[in-house]
Structure 1
């Protein structure tokens, strides 16, 4: 059945601007295009940040409706929650949180429109009344979803996976043994950073890209500051390995953002802390690490493999883990979740 789907997001379809933590840029446009390829119409319900902030005009391809309430058959929300940033803006009516509340009232509650809440950051309270509405499905980007929710994985664009060449990626010269791309997020990552990244950074060339305003504890670490979205892939292309750092509330449930597969598709091998639940879903056991010394040892091993057939074989084994995360599969799952509450 063809549907007219409203999609609410805080973020970009294109590269956007530097001062944002919108990881979903890596796949959002591909996902919307998959919905369209399945025969559905998409209406974007938040402000057009691509045009207003980044100067990228996509209005000939996508439709935005950020004020009114068009007729819809279904609603998908990338879940937003009150943060210090939008609190400072006083919750004026043009913020994404206010618009989300209006969409929920108009469509989900008043008209019982089938609604998929995609809780990308695991911020929807486990006892939120929305969870028990018969027209609401909740998806989480973790294999250990909250009771009543379903795993709706962070999708990998099919076209990127289809053109990936592990032999070419293995042959690429990588001058950086270790890299990390991501923000400090108020200190939520500090414990993992101290345990897994910092010891290796004392011994090997490395770089850390992102917003780290409180980095005084690691004077030996090379912080390069925030980088543009387009620079993320280039940094991974220069790097042999990265470490998947997560706040405790996320690694306990096996949550990973797109940084995992963004690194892999550039040939940068991720190392996963062994304590992360579901690590086997994402990476082979050889890439699980227990502490900083283990990171150092794995880096030495990876450097000994660099450019060899064994290096390419390792990448191939990692890429096999990406197949269930194809955007086409995730899009169909999202649609099936909407159909189940229709």
Structure 2
């Protein structure tokens, strides 16, 4: 759920580990005054080591379990964000619901608590980078399809639980390289949409807006027009802040058709579900003559396209 633009050692959520991350009683938690005052203090079983980063909504700190030395990340919302109780309630409800979603591409909480009216979240700590930091130029179509299908898997799992992401952007998609170099997608920032003002022009249904955002993301990735940092990278992809670039004339036709349908002006003309969009993306690979196997994605350079390396060192709709 963090809006951080850092390239390594950033936190993400994964499946809950209740046996190692218990609830933190309010009596054991120090006042959440500032990141600087928290470093070195104990929150439940965790000792806060250092600040990892901060964004418009909160600060994230690295913490270590005192007994088993397991490292986690603890996120604390900024005080000014919590002034509206309704916004805090929506944020906490989204966090609770995330624990119900079992998907390899969706962040999930270890635990959460409240102190001084400010929520804090206990999350898994992983190394990787945001898509905004990863995409330094046009990506190979095979890599784009691989990344987008993982995003669709995550969105489909969330939509099945009645949750839309609502704020999909290059900083909310996190990439963790596996042992073979493939970029494993993790979605961050679920619940952010409930904390931020509505995006201009975001009149679509939440599911339709999510799927439109995937199409915009694909167009930006194949053209190399993805902003790498700053406010633009945090703008929801379904808002009017984004200017969708024309697709390259040499882009494989089946993938072009899929992206254009995903970005259709009328929601009724788009894909009806994340699963439908995912299947169309997969089908485009065969129609366009095949693609590199998943284990090679992220490691090769194709003529005219960049397939970038990973970091050196975070009720379903019908089709």
TM-score (normalizing by structure 2): 0.27
User: Larger C-alpha radius of gyration, 1 or 2?
Assistant: 1
**Larger relative contact order (C-alpha < 8 A, sep ≥ 6)?**
2
TM-score (normalizing by structure 1): 0.26
